[in-house]
């Protein structure tokens, strides 16, 4: 008798726990209840599902590191479809600084040149690799990662696929050093002094 009356409570607690866990790990696109989402109620045709914004991506001599995006912001038909692309162009010796995509893993394919890539897991273990043209690498969702074209003579181009229509970007240097966090907080956090923090901040403003 006692056990059976306690059962619902245990079930409820279990359910609450499962809900709490799924809530804290929920950083993915919502499921939609229609085939696709349109910006208004007027009908769309195939051109709505077509995006040509990456057609001029092949620049073998980019001047600086550039990212061409095809997320739901550039390509509204992606809204609700949980997919997007980016083309990354690296001049010789260029770096894409450590950053995260809070809502998506990233599947990178090297189309030209070579790239050194790496990510750090929540145990602070670095997983790095040197990729050749044609190699693919997956950066797990939400983890800090970077790409570097160590080759000082040749540019590199990579295409990245994302499992979100808007994976989001959080640049580690920018989010930490260009957002107005108190210099003393940063100096203490990085175990250095305020002038060093200010030197880093100044460099990132250029």
Ligand X SMILES: *[C@@H]1O[C@H](CO)[C@@H](O)[C@H](O)[C@H]1NC(C)=O
User: Which residues fall in the annotated binding site for oxalate?
Assistant: 96, 101, 106
Task: Name the minimum Å distance from CB 64 to ligand X.
Answer: 4
The CA-atom distances, in angstroms, between 115 and each of 66, 108, 150 are 15, 10, 7
If binding is defined by CB under 6 A, does position 48 make contact with ligand X?
A: yes
Q: Please, how many CA atoms are within 13 Å of residue 149, restricted to the half-sphere of its CB?
A: 27
- Applying CB under 6 A, the site for ligand X has a residue count of 15
Give the largest CA-CA distance in the chain. 78
| Part in contact with ligand X (CB under 6 A); list of ranges 13-21, 126-134, 138-146, 191-199 | 126-134
Q: Which is nearer to ligand X, 91 or 163 (CB)?
A: 91
Q: Where are the beta strands (DSSP E) in 51-172?
A: 66-70, 84-90, 95-100, 106-112, 115-120, 126-131, 136-139, 144-148, 156-162, 170-171
If binding is defined by CB under 6 A, does position 205 make contact with ligand X?
A: no
Task: Name the minimum Å distance from CB 40 to ligand X.
Answer: 4
Contacts of ligand X in 72-91 (CB under 6 A): 76
| Part in contact with ligand X (CB under 6 A); list of ranges 16-24, 36-44, 167-175, 181-189 | 36-44
If binding is defined by CB under 6 A, does position 174 make contact with ligand X?
A: no
Write b or e for each residue in 98-124: b if 16 or more Cβ atoms lie within 10 A of its Cβ, otherwise e: bbbbebbbbebebbbbbbbbbbbeeee
Task: Give the footprint of ligand X on this chain (CB under 6 A).
Answer: 39-40, 42, 44, 48, 62-64, 76, 116, 128-130, 152-153
């Amino acid at each position: 008798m006692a056990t059976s009356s306690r059962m619902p409570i245990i079930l409820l607690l279990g359910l609450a726990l499962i809900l709490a866990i799924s809530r804290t790990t929920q950083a993915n696109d919502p499921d939609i209840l229609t085939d696709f989402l349109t910006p208004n109620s007027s009908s769309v045709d195939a051109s709505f599902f077509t995006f040509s914004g990456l057609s001029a991506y092949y620049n073998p001599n980019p001047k600086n590191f550039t990212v061409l995006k095809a997320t739901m912001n550039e390509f509204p038909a992606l809204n609700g479809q949980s997919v997007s692309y980016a083309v990354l162009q690296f001049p010789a010796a260029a770096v894409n600084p450590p950053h995260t995509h809070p809502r998506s893993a990233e599947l990178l394919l090297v189309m030209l040149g070579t790239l050194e890539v790496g990510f750090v897991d929540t145990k602070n273990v670095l997983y790095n690799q040197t990729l050749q043209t044609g190699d693919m690498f997956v950066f797990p969702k939400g983890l800090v990662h970077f790409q570097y074209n160590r080759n000082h003579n040749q540019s590199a181009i990579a295409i990245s696929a994302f499992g979100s229509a808007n994976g989001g970007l959080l640049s580690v240097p920018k989010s930490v050093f260009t957002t107005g966090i108190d210099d003393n907080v940063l100096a203490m956090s990085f175990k250095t002094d305020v002038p060093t923090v200010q030197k880093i901040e100044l460099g990132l403003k250029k």
